[in-house]
Amino acid sequence: MALNVVASQYIVNNFKRSRYFKQNLGLVTTIENNGRRSLNNKDQFSYFYNSQYKTTIYAQGNVGDIKFYVDHYIKDDTFAIYTGDNFEEFIYKYNGDIVREKGIEFYIGHLLKDVDEKYEEKVKNDELRKLEERPKGNAENVLKNPGNVTYEDLKAYLELKQKERYKNNNII
């Protein structure tokens, strides 16, 4: 799964110390379209980030499937990791102590494992929310209070009518 990391220049420079880091400056931010400059949507993540936060990020390189971007408006030691098709965001605080003790590769691996666990948990929670039973409608509301009918009420009413028709057809 592809990951995108957005951080300050200082933090990205620390990630650049990885022996697996390959410099890749990405695509241009804007392109000319009919005499006007518009955002380049070929880099989907950069386009998403620019649309979401109204700021431009600059590609710096990658470690495997992990792409690193610099946002010059980030001034503290936090960074964000985006994953999934909807670019789910996970915020982290840079921990220089782990990097000094165990190395940048260990730190990246630690982050990958943590993001993967959090993303799986979020996906499971989203699925559970979808499976939760929706409130049942009241079919009587259609006849008694037609001005305050919900979609669930209409659905219950139509199911009731369908059952009545089925019973009537079997009796005849």
Tell me: the pLDDT tens digits for 2-19? 899 999 999 999 999 999
In a shared domain, residues 125 and 145: no
Task: Give the full edge-to-edge strand order of the sheet including 66-70.
Answer: 22-23, 58-63, 66-70, 3-7, 78-83, 88-93
In a shared domain, residues 22 and 76: yes
Give residue 28's pLDDT band: very low, low, confident or very high (50, 70, 90). confident
The identity of residue 49, as a single letter, is Y
In a shared domain, residues 161 and 101: no
In a shared domain, residues 119 and 152: no
What's the number of domains the chain is made of? 2
In a shared domain, residues 122 and 152: no
In a shared domain, residues 152 and 123: no
In a shared domain, residues 10 and 95: yes
Tell whether 147 is covered by a domain: yes
In a shared domain, residues 158 and 79: no
In a shared domain, residues 77 and 146: no
Give 139's contacts (C-beta < 8 A, 6+ positions apart).
153, 156, 157, 159, 160
* Rounded-to-5 percentages of helix, strand, coil across the chain: 45, 20, 30
In a shared domain, residues 84 and 167: no
In a shared domain, residues 47 and 88: yes
- Asked if the model's pLDDT at residue 1 lies above 80, the reply is no
Q: Which domain holds residue 53?
A: 3-131
Question: What are the tokens at 16?
Answer: 């650049």
In a shared domain, residues 80 and 48: yes
Give residue 129's pLDDT band: very low, low, confident or very high (50, 70, 90). confident
pLDDT of residue 106: 96
Closest CA to 83 of 169, 168, 3, 166: 3
* pTM, to two decimals: 0.74
> CB of 83 within 8 A of CB of 119?
yes
